A and B are shown apart, each in its own frame.
Chain A
Amino acid sequence: MNAVTPLSPETRPAVMERSSGCAFVALRQSRGATRLADLAQAGSAKAILPRVAGAVPEVVYLNTSGGLTGGDRLSYRLEVGAGCRVLATTQTAERAYAAGEGVAEVRVSHSVGAGGWLDWLPQETILYDGAALERHTEIELAGDAGCLMLESVVLGRAAMGETVSRLKFRDARTVRRDGRPVLLDPLAFDDAALAAAGGFAVLGGARAFATLAMIGQGAEDTLARARAVLDEPGVEAAASAFDGKLVLRLLAPDGWPLRRQVVRVLGALRGTALPRVWQV
């Protein structure tokens, strides 16, 4: 599934250089089509535009450092112009390794102009024991713009017998419309929350979880379609529609059933093929 194979924690050198990267893409309507208006990349962050000529252009972000550790800085930015429809994702799962000292900071800052739509569908984030990651994902909507956003998190790899008990993880999603917050979803998992993760109000023992949210015109009308496919074996998921939003929480024992469920929900909500990096 991945184009880039990251180094396992054992094979990464004990003392690593801090990586930093920033990738910025702007797409705008021009002469009746969505076209690349700006592209800037620095350090370990890259943006690939495999299908800009298509009806719905895709932007694929990539962290070439192979994973995040303490002190790393990563920034992905996307400007979706008025009236544009864009799908953005990441090339591979992001891995946050044991941090040593410091915290990895990731900033995802997207904006969508009036009449535009963004599907922000990054692949999952895998957190290793001892990881320290603070991620802020912000989407600014203008006027009647809308978005579909996903975040999937996996605590270690169950198949490899990994358990995660030490963590410093903050993962905050913010969607604003014309500057006012319409969705705030700040998650935090530290050692104390992991110790309580077996509780039925916390994770009920799940090791993988995802939030999927659609904000914008018609979002509430998709509730029945979403609920109809929430039956993937091993996955617990539920959906709610309110206040111009559709919000889903999904939990699973491991990343793969979660991914299968997410792909089915995305299929039901979007009705069009997922980008190649998402195909399972």
Chain B
Amino acid sequence: MANTYTAIATVTVGSGGAATIDFTSIPNIYTDLCLKVSGRSNNSSDYYSTLTMTFNGTNTYTNRILFGTGSGTGSGTDTSIKPFVQASSATANTFGQNEFYIPNYAGSNAKSVSMDMVTENNATNALALLGAGLSSGTSAISSITLSVGSDLFVQYSTATLYGIKNS
């Protein structure tokens, strides 16, 4: 990791779970942002849950993903930034890993984001994904919200937001 990474904020979900994780008042003093999420949802009917990320409270995105499962590969598009965290059907006490990189987040152009993620599951149903997304918003990103649909992030899920300077 480059020595220009600065941990802006980090959070660990408590025993009651959390519906959303909201980073607010993000300073605009960095060049890029990097968000790392170690997450698990309480969805008991599936192996992974959709992780939705919104900037500045809006959801005007497009994205393209490539993914591999335990039994095949595929690709897709969506109208929001949606990688996944793993859910309760996956191996107990394991967490999915996500990394988002958001270059030039404080600029006045549309915001791109790249993402990679894997779920952890000691069985066939696991998922690895690469994705690229674009937000049409032109305002500097001052808040980022993470959610898992109508599910909850379970205890010990963590999210850390890094700021990266180009010098």
Asked if A and B bind, the verdict is no
Chain B interfacial positions (CB closer than 8 Å to A): none
